[in-house]
Chain A
Amino acid sequence: MSSLATEAAAPPAPAPTPPRPRRRRFPTVPWLLLSASILILGVLTGYPVVRMLIMSFQEYERAQVMGMPADWVGLDNYVAVLTDSGFWAVLGRSIVFMVVAVTLTMVLGTLIALLMMRLGKKMRLLVAVGLLLAWSMPPLSSTTIWGWIFDTEYGLVNNLLTRVTGDRWFGHSWLLDPLGFFTILTFIIVWGAIPFVAFTMYAGLSQIPGEVLEAAQLDGAGAFARFRLVMLPYVRTIVTVLIVLSMIWDLKVFPQVYALQDIGGDREKTNTIGVYIYQMGMGQGHFGTASAIAFVFVAIMLLLSVYYVRRTIKEEEL
């Protein structure tokens, strides 16, 4: 503790204690303070990444888990993955889903933010309360709720459709058809993701000076023109960051897909990349192949996040 004290004193107040010889010494104290973090992140993030890389170049199956030595197979796992139509189907599906979900989230989230700008205090609070409630739901809870709403037997949707159309919808399965499965998945994800986008956009939009918007209005700019030409340029960085983050979140979606498959989806036809890695590794024991896929996945994620990381570094003036 006393060493912390002297070190901390050194940079701002050089007067009282004269620790001159310390200057060139290794900065022990900060590294000591960081040591626990470095240890944990090194062992439980750094090492797993390395381990994943190594496994991706090995033949690593159930036998290797039991203790058989793992053979090096070079790029075989990668070749197997990249030439497997199953992998491309999963990747394509994940990306299409991501694009649809992010687009819907951004558009609807922005519209709700614009709505909140127009509302009076009370109504805005009402909308905020609704958004907060949806936002705070744990993913697995919200998945079960939507699963129940679209339940095959007596789900609300089937019940209402029977009443409205006059046909019997009881027994109609929404999840069995992959398209229906992904529609419901989109409901779950977009419903849960809109609040963050809406609040952030609202916070951003409400910082635009009122005179600017008024001036545009006086110049005869319609609502859409005002949004596109005045508001959007102001919040462009926020929009970009929101898109990047949403892309990352929607691409790695896991519990929602996995639980929906439990409720009644066809696993083969509805896997997204995260779930696919789980099935390949934990389910079928192809740890080597799963690691190769995981590495491709990590590479995609890091590529996606480059903009976000760069902007944050600039923003924080690091």
Chain B
Amino acid sequence: MNRARTADLEPAAPPRRPEAVPTAGTKIRRSPARRVKEAGWGLVAILVFAVFVFPVYWMLNTSFLPNNRIRGEEISFFPTPDVFTLDNYRSAMFSEERAPFGPAVLNSISATFITLVVCLVIGFVASIALTRFTFKGRRTFIILILVIQMIPGEAMIISLYRIIDGWALINTIIGLSLVYVAGVLPFTIWTLRGFVAGVPKELEEAAMVDGCSPAGAFWRVTFPLLAPGLVATGIFAFINAWNDFVLALVIMQRPDTMTLTLWLRTFLMVTQATNWGAVMAAAVLVAIPAVIFFLIVQGRMSGGLVAGAVKG
């Protein structure tokens, strides 16, 4: 329906007029003007690039500068070799005055890892049920998965806290991972479902004709084809859990149970005069894994929205 209306609105259909010929002629002689125009757009592109990269560059720059260069009325735009220092990283990771870095990393890694594995296994199994079987309630379940994703975790924190507290799992990795799994699982099922559905059943059937058992056909034919989907989905789960702040804030309340995001937050509230060098070093440390994994899967992030949304 939508698409039909789209087609109606197109003003492209009207018959072409004879003016088309002279306009086409301009194509040939536009070279100098065009070059100026192109250079103009190139300049805009560089400006856009600068706007988006600048904060990240500024974070890195500050993290490598000594304190006397950061806190001063001079601006240092580059950590030249004579001032370059790793002190901020040392201070962020090992300073006694701060929440300890080591346990925070361990907590983040464990919670993220558990979330990733549990979500992948459970989500994968669920996605098989939703794609390779037809049964009553399938459609309802899929719609429910979609709707659940729209309930914001920010609204659920109070009751989640009460429930996790009721099970005496506050300040435990298990408690935090459970909450993460519940948060990420719907998305995992939704995405994996798409990947599994993308592998045609006919491939399995062909393998079965060649003598494979149905389960064997699935494991030998379909599963290997799903590897990229599993990797992408796993990384989504990873980024979600790694970047989370809200749920960790509610569940992990003791200093020794902090995750990395909570640890980073302590830098902001310690004193009036914030040690920005150390804060930036900490921000870099939190961002590195997220950025790396993000870059691996970025192509899939917006592709899904477009697929099928534009059809002439």
Contact = CB atoms under 8 A, between A and B. Distances in A.
Interface of A: 1-2, 4-9, 11-13, 27, 29-31, 33-34, 36-37, 40-41, 43-45, 47-49, 51-52, 55, 65, 112, 115, 118-120, 123-124, 126-127, 129-142, 144-149, 151, 153-154, 156, 159-160, 162-163, 170, 191, 194-196, 199-200, 203-204, 207-209, 211-213, 215-221, 229-230, 233-238, 241-242, 248, 252, 254-255, 258-259, 262-263, 273-274, 277-278, 281-282, 287, 290-291, 294-295, 297-298, 301-302, 304-305, 308-309, 312-313, 315-316, 318
A200 B303 CA distance: 7
A199 B148 contact: no
A213 B308 CA distance: 20
A61 to B, nearest CB: 12
Given A41-B148, A123-B42, A140-B261, A130 B53 contact: yes
A27 B12 contact: no
A68 B137 CA distance: 41
Interface string B47-74: 0111111011011001000000011110
B221 interface: no
B31 interface: no
Interface residues of B, number: 119
Contacts of A203: 302-303, 305-306
Contacts of A130: 48-53
A213 B11 CA distance: 10
Given A44-B182, A207-B306, A208-B310, A162 B73 contact: yes
B17 A219 contact: yes
Given A37-B123, A301-B152, A31 B129 contact: yes
Contacts of B179: 44
A83 to B, nearest CB: 21
Nearest to B72: A154
Nearest to B7: A233
A130 to B, nearest CB: 4
Instruction: Find the residue from A33, A65, A119, A221 having the highest chain B CB count within 10 A.
Output: A33
B73 A215 contact: no
Chain A at the B interface: SS class: helix
B125 interface: yes
B157 A145 contact: no
A302 B146 CA distance: 11
Given A154-B73, A248-B150, A309-B147, A55 B11 contact: no
Given A11-B133, A134-B56, A36 B122 contact: yes
The 8 A-B residue pairs whose C-beta atoms are closest, nearest first, are: A44-B182, A274-B154, A136-B294, A33-B129, A130-B52, A27-B135, A255-B245, A305-B150
Given A11-B134, A123-B41, A133-B52, A216 B2 contact: no
B283 A255 contact: no
A287 B250 CA distance: 13
| Secondary structure of the B contact surface, majority rule | helix
Given A123-B41, A238-B310, A298 B152 contact: yes
22 contacts: A40-B185, A41-B182, A115-B48, A123-B45, A133-B56, A136-B294, A136-B298, A137-B56, A138-B286, A140-B261, A141-B287, A145-B280, A145-B283, A208-B310, A229-B9, A233-B6, A238-B310, A259-B265, A262-B268, A282-B161, A302-B150, A313-B146
Contacts of A9: 208, 214
Contacts of B298: 132, 135-136
Contact of B10 (A212, A274, A316): A212
B243 to A, nearest CB: 4
B267 A144 contact: yes
Nearest to B193: A316
A45 B182 contact: yes
B256 interface: no
Pick the most buried of B16, B143, B309: most chain A CB atoms within 10 A of its CB.
Answer: B309
Contact of B155 (A41, A154, A277, A304): A277
B46 interface: yes
Contact of A219 (B16, B134, B159, B261): B16
A248 B6 CA distance: 26
Contacts of B162: 51, 55, 65, 287
B136 interface: yes
A46 B230 CA distance: 26
Q: Select the residue from B12, B181, B186, B298 with max chain A CB neighbours within 10 A.
A: B12
Nearest to A11: B134
A130 B50 CA distance: 7
Interface stretch (B80-88, B97-105, B271-279): B271-279
Interface in B152-184: 152, 154-163, 165, 178-179, 181-182
Chain A CB within 10 Å, residue with most, of B70, B72, B283: B283
Residue among A130, A191, A254 with most chain B CB within 10 A: A130
B170 to A, nearest CB: 12
A281 B291 contact: no
Given A235-B310, A309-B150, A301 B305 contact: no
